[in-house]
Chain A
Amino acid sequence: MKFERYGKGIAKGLTVTIRHLLRHPVTSQYPEQRLNVSRRIRGNELIWDKTRCTGCATCARTCPQGCIEIITSVSTEENKYIVDKFEVDTGYCISCGLCVEACPYEALFMGYAFERAKYRRGELVQTNEMLLASPERQPSGYMHPEIAAQLPKQTLLLEKITEEE
C-alpha cells in the first residue's frame, strides 16, 4: 500500500532551508556598498546640452506629462531661436525617456544618478543653468551609445551569486 502524508514533504522543505543557512546572503549593505547601475539608466533628472539645443520644442510636445516648458525668442541677426527659458518640473516627470528619444539634435540626456530627493517641492523645478551637465550631474547612456560605452559595467546579481549548484 502506498504511504503518503507522513511527513516526507515537511522533511524535504526543512533540508532546503537549512542549506540556505550555509550560503552567502544576497543583501548588499546600502549606503556603504553601492552597486553599479545600468549604463542606460533613466535616472531621476534631466540633463540639457545648451549648445546643441535649437528650441524646436519637440521634447515638450512629446512629453506625456507636459512637464517641459520652453520659451524662446527670435534672434534676427543669426536667424535662429534663442532659448530664454527651459524649465523641467521633475516632480511631474515619470522618467519615461520619450523626450530624449524624440530630440532630433540629441541635446537631452537622462541622468545617471537616482538619489535626487529634495526637501521642498519647489526645488524640484529646474531651469536653464541648473540643467547643464556637471561632475555631480552625469549623463547616462540612454539613447546615447557613445556615453554608454564609457560608463562602468552594471553589477548583475547573476554574477554576484557564487553558490555551487
Chain B
Amino acid sequence: MALKTEPFILNIGPVHPSTHGVFRMRATLDGEVIVDIEPVFGYLHRGIEKLAEERTYTGVIPLTDRLDYLASMSNNLAYVLAVEKLAGIPVPERAEYIRVIMAELQRIASHLVAVGSFLNDCGAYFTPFLYMFREREKIVDLFEMVSGQRLLYNYMRAGGVSHDIPYEFLPALDKFIRQMPSFIDEYDRLLSENEILLARAKGVGILPKELAINISASGPVLRASGVRWDIRKADPYSIYDRFEFDIPTGIAGDCYDRYRVRVQEMRQSLRIIKQAMEQIPLGEVSGKVPHLVRPAVGEAYAHIEAPKGELGFYLVSDDSIAPYRCHIRAPSLINLTALREMMVGWKIQDAIIIFGSIDITMGEVDR
C-alpha cells in the first residue's frame, strides 16, 4: 500500500540563512526533494536607473558603485567606458594601465568573497571565509590608499581616473603579488581535495552547455559549463589585448567546477597585474574633459568582464548634462534565469549550495 504524500511549500525567506542578500525562494518540496522553485526578488530595488536620469554624468558614478557593492571598481569602469564611447573622449595611457590594475585587483577581491561564502554554505564553519577575508583586507587597504574609501570607491572618471596613485602604492602592490600565490595554494590545500566537499559539490547543480548559452549566462557560470567565452579576449576593451593570460574553463558545469574556475581566475588576474605593473608609463591620468560632460545626441553600449559576468551599460543621451536613459545589464540577474533548472531534483541542502555557487549580489539583481 503506497503512502499518500503531497508536496508542501516551504518559504526560504528573504532573510537568508546564507550570506547572499535578500532573496526569497518559494520551494515546493516532495519529502526532501525540490519539485519546483519560484524566485522572488526586488527587496533591494532602489531605482538606480531612474535616479541616473537626474544626475550629471559624473554624478552617476557614485550610484554605479552601489550596484554590485563587492566589485565597485568594475561597475565604475563599465560606466565610464560607456560615457567615453558616447562622447568620444580619449584616455591617456597611464590611466588605462591604472584602470586595468584596479579592475583585476577588484576581480580577485570579489572572487575571494564568492569562494569564501560558497565554502561557508557548504558547512566549513567560517574558516575559509575568514581566511579569504584576510586576503581581501589587504586588497581593500590598497584601495583605501588610492581612493580614500574601502568599499565604494568612486575612482574612475570619464577620460581617466580621478587622481593619480600615491607613490607607495606600487611597492605595496608588488609585495602583495609576491605573497598572494602562496596563499591561494594554501587555500587550495585546505579544501579543494576534501572528500566531503567533493561529495557535496561535484555533480550537483549542473548547468548544461546549451542551456547556459541559451539563457545568455556569462562569467564564471558560463565558463564552468565548458564555453570559452571571456569578453576580455572576445571583444577586448581598454588595453586588455596587450596582456597575455589564460581563460580557465570547467568541464561539467557543477558547483565544484564553478568554485575551481573562480580560484583559477584569481591566479590569472595576478598574472595580468604583474604585466601591467611592469609596463605602466608615467604621464597624465585624466584627459581634458569639461567639468560637465555634454555628449551629442546618440546612444552607446559598453560591456566589461566584471567578476560576476558581463556587465553592460546602455546610455542614451539627448544633448543635456544628464543621461536620458541609463540601462544596466546586470550579470547576476541574467545568471539567475536558470535557477529553476539547476535546482529541481536536488535536496534543500543542495539548493543552498547551488545558490551560493552562482554568486550573485542582490544590489545588481534588484538595482
Question: Which residues of A pack against B, CB within 8 Å?
Answer: 5, 7-10, 12-13, 15-17, 20, 26, 37-42, 62-64, 94-98, 101-102, 110, 140, 142-143, 148, 153-154, 156-159, 165
Contact = CB atoms under 8 A, between A and B. Distances in A.
B225 interface: no
B144 A38 contact: yes
Interface string B166-194: 10100010011001001000100111111
B249 interface: no
B55 interface: yes
A96 B141 contact: no
Interface residues of B, number: 44
A16 B179 CA distance: 17
A98 B148 contact: no
Contacts of B145: 38-40, 154, 156
A95 B144 contact: no
A158 B189 contact: no
15 contacts: A5-B195, A5-B198, A13-B189, A16-B190, A38-B144, A40-B166, A41-B148, A64-B56, A96-B154, A97-B148, A97-B154, A148-B166, A154-B141, A157-B141, A158-B141
Contact of B162 (A5, A101, A110): A101
Query: Chain A: interface secondary structure?
Result: loop
Interface string B309-347: 000000000000000000000000000000000000000
Query: Chain B: interface secondary structure?
Result: helix
Contacts of B58: 62, 98
Given A38-B144, A39-B166, A157-B138, A9 B193 contact: yes
Given A13-B194, A38-B145, A62 B59 contact: yes
Contacts of B189: 12-13, 15-16
A104 B189 CA distance: 54
A96 B59 CA distance: 9
Contacts of B152: 94, 96
Given A13-B189, A40-B146, A158-B138, 7 more contacts: A9-B194, A37-B144, A64-B55, A64-B56, A96-B61, A97-B154, A158-B176
Contacts of B134: 26, 157
Contacts of B186: 16
Contacts of A148: 166
A98 to B, nearest CB: 7
Contacts of B291: 102
Contacts of B166: 39-40, 148
Contacts of A156: 138, 141-142, 145, 172
Given A143-B163, A158-B141, A158-B175, A41 B149 contact: yes
Contacts of B182: 165
B111 to A, nearest CB: 18
A6 B329 CA distance: 45
A42 B148 CA distance: 5
Contacts of A101: 162
A142 B62 CA distance: 16
B148 A12 contact: no
B144 A158 contact: no
Given A9-B195, A165-B182, A64 B137 contact: no
Contacts of B168: 153
A7 B168 CA distance: 45
B62 A98 contact: yes
A13 B145 CA distance: 34
B18 interface: no
Contacts of A102: 291
